[in-house]
């Protein structure tokens, strides 16, 4: 992709390095950085409406609403927050963008902002301020929200890490002391777990979040939807290898994964029916905070790990990205920017990260220092979800086509068709190629 290149990576890395030198907690900011300030003067009589995705962990919404209340107390600006399942935020945001009416601020998923960049308020000043103050935005955030390399069309909120969640005791019983680091070992582990009657399960339905593991699968073998010039290249020998591997993996899955949507794997895991799946930290969070002693006991046995590395030799992580968009039609652009500034400042954002129990990984490097990542070692694998995130439009430029292709579940359906045996891998690839070309024709 042209915007997510080596230069951006170096810029991001330099920012991260700078942040690391700044210290932690209240002392993360060097004096120069602390001196930075930006002032947005809310419009008189401003009121804001925020549409955001429903919480998967209770602490997220509790702390978010506390921060909202603090903002109202400080500025007198009334803020109404509506929650919708993230499947439903996307269509509502799309309709709002198209009709020019609706919430002032929308917290949505993946590259939704790239579906209608012209309808979003330019927040470059705010993004640059936050980037400078908090050690820089990670490269993936630049790719998602600064598509032309100049103008920010939204702010990153973070990412729900899609990590492997597993039962340590069951892996051990199957002969594995640690979670595999390579795709070959991962397959062996899945087969061993299946033989032991404690299978794994990964979602293959039209799931916005948990279906993202299909990107990992394709990328791990060198496949990709498009090349750097946005040419569709999913029908390739690399994808074929990934699908052949996926077929072997699918043979070890618990039945029913073809229909799994986002909540299914949480339920199956917490019910003890699977030993490993991909998920945010919500499974662990639910186990830790459960009132059921059996489920609470399970928390001690739960571990997290990154997805294994495939033949490409480098991590190919795909996580659910969250963004914050201010709609251009808002009557209160300054108030909206001030709201986002307030919510992203350390005093508010760090308690929110903590309240969410590690469910959201931050988009700004300084938040690596949040105590949420060290207070419980099991949270740590989720910390770098945004840092290591490869945008879903890889290896092309993000935009309308990548957003549309993602929303149309082209990759997920291709993987589901091929590995379940509904279509041959070749047929599935050809169908995906044809469908993706339709989007990338733009």
**For binding to another protein (CB under 8 A), which residues are involved?**
87, 90-91, 94-95, 97-98, 115-119, 204-206, 254-261, 264, 267-268, 271, 273, 400, 403-405, 407-408, 413, 416-417, 420, 422, 431, 434-435, 438-439, 442
Report d(CA 192, CA 186) in Å as an integer. Answer: 10
| Tally of CA atoms within 13 A in the half-sphere of 371 that contains its CB | 5
Cα distance from N-terminal residue to C-terminal residue, the chain: 16
Report d(CA 114, CA 436) in Å as an integer. Answer: 16
Is the peptide bond preceding residue 405 cis, with omega within 30 degrees of 0? no
Instruction: Give me 412's structure tokens.
Output: 């997920």
Rg (Cα) of the chain, in Å, rounded? Answer: 21
Instruction: Give me 363's structure tokens.
Output: 């988009």
Q: Indicate the residue among 53 and 373 with the shorter CB distance to another protein.
A: 53
**CB of 413: closest distance to another protein in angstroms?**
7
Q: Comparing C-alpha atoms, which of 315, 326, 272, 320 is closest to residue 113?
A: 326
For the residues of 301-329, what is the DSSP string, one character each? TEEEEPPPB-TTSS-----EEEEEEEBTT
**CB of 232: closest distance to another protein in angstroms?**
15
Instruction: Give me 268's structure tokens.
Output: 């199956």
Q: Indicate the residue among 269 and 285 with the shorter CB distance to another protein.
A: 269
Q: Indicate the residue among 211 and 363 with the shorter CB distance to another protein.
A: 211
Q: Indicate the residue among 153 and 385 with the shorter CB distance to another protein.
A: 153
Instruction: Give me 203's structure tokens.
Output: 């979602």
Non-local (6+) Cβ contacts of 148 within 8 A are 3
Q: Indicate the residue among 158 and 404 with the shorter CB distance to another protein.
A: 404
Question: What residue spans of 6-57 are helical by DSSP H?
Answer: 6-20, 31-35
**CB of 60: closest distance to another protein in angstroms?**
22
Q: Indicate the residue among 385 and 419 with the shorter CB distance to another protein.
A: 419
Q: Indicate the residue among 75 and 273 with the shorter CB distance to another protein.
A: 273
DSSP-based three-state secondary structure for 263: coil
Q: Indicate the residue among 54 and 273 with the shorter CB distance to another protein.
A: 273
**CB of 304: closest distance to another protein in angstroms?**
22
**CB of 80: closest distance to another protein in angstroms?**
22
Q: Indicate the residue among 9 and 400 with the shorter CB distance to another protein.
A: 400
Give the residues across from 373 on adjacent strands.
Answer: none
Question: What residue spans of 100-148 are helical by DSSP H?
Answer: 124-133, 139-145
Backbone angles phi, psi at 344, to 5 degrees: -90, -10
Report d(CA 298, CA 303) in Å as an integer. Answer: 10
**CB of 356: closest distance to another protein in angstroms?**
25
Strand duo 47-53 + 78-84: pairing:
parallel
Report d(CA 402, CA 112) in Å as an integer. Answer: 9
Q: Indicate the residue among 87 and 227 with the shorter CB distance to another protein.
A: 87
């Amino acid at each position: 992709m042209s915007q997510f290149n080596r230069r951006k990576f170096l810029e991001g890395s330099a920012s991260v390095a700078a942040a690391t030198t700044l210290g932690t907690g209240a002392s993360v900011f060097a004096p120069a950085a602390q001196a930075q300030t930006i002032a947005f003067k809310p419009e008189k009589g401003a009121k804001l409406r925020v549409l955001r995705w429903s919480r998967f962990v209770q602490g997220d919404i509790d702390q978010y609403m506390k921060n909202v209340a603090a903002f109202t107390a400080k500025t007198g600006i009334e803020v109404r927050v509506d929650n919708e399942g993230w499947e439903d935020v996307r269509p509502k945001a799309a309709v709002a963008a198209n009709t020019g009416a609706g919430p002032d601020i929308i917290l949505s998923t993946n590259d939704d902002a790239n579906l209608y960049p012209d309808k979003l308020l330019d927040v470059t000043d705010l993004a640059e301020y936050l980037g400078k103050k908090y050690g820089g935005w990670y490269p993936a955030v630049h790719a998602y929200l600064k598509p032309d390399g100049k103008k920010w069309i939204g702010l990153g909120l973070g990412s729900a890490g899609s990590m492997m969640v597993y039962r340590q005791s069951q892996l051990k019983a199957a002969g594995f002391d640690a979670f595999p680091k390579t795709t070959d070992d991962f397959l062996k582990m899945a087969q061993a777990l299946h033989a032991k009657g404690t299978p794994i399960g990964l979602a293959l339905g039209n799931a916005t979040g948990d279906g993202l593991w299909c990107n990992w699968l394709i990328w791990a073998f060198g496949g990709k939807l498009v090349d750097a010039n946005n040419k569709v290249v999913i029908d390739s020998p690399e994808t074929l290898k990934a699908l052949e591997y996926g077929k072997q993996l699918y043979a070890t899955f618990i039945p029913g994964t073809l229909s799994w949507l986002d909540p299914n794997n949480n339920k199956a895991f917490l019910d003890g029916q699977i030993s490993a799946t991909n998920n945010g930290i919500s499974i662990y969070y639910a186990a830790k905070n459960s009132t059921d002693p059996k489920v609470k006991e399970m928390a001690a046995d739960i571990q997290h790990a990154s997805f294994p590395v495939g033949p490409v030799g480098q991590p190919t992580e795909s996580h659910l990205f969250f963004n914050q968009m201010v709609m251009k039609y808002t009557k209160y652009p300054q108030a909206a920017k001030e709201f986002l500034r307030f919510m992203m400042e350390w005093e508010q954002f760090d308690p929110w990260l903590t309240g969410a129990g590690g469910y959201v990984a931050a988009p700004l490097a300084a938040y690596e220092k949040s105590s949420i990542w060290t207070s419980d070692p099991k949270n740590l694998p989720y910390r770098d979800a945004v840092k290591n995130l490869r945008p879903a439009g890889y290896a092309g430029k993000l935009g309308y086509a990548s957003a549309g292709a993602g929303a149309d579940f082209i990759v997920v359906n291709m993987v589901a068709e091929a590995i379940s045996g509904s279509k041959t891998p070749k047929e599935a690839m050809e169908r995906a190629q044809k469908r993706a070309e339709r989007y990338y024709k733009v």
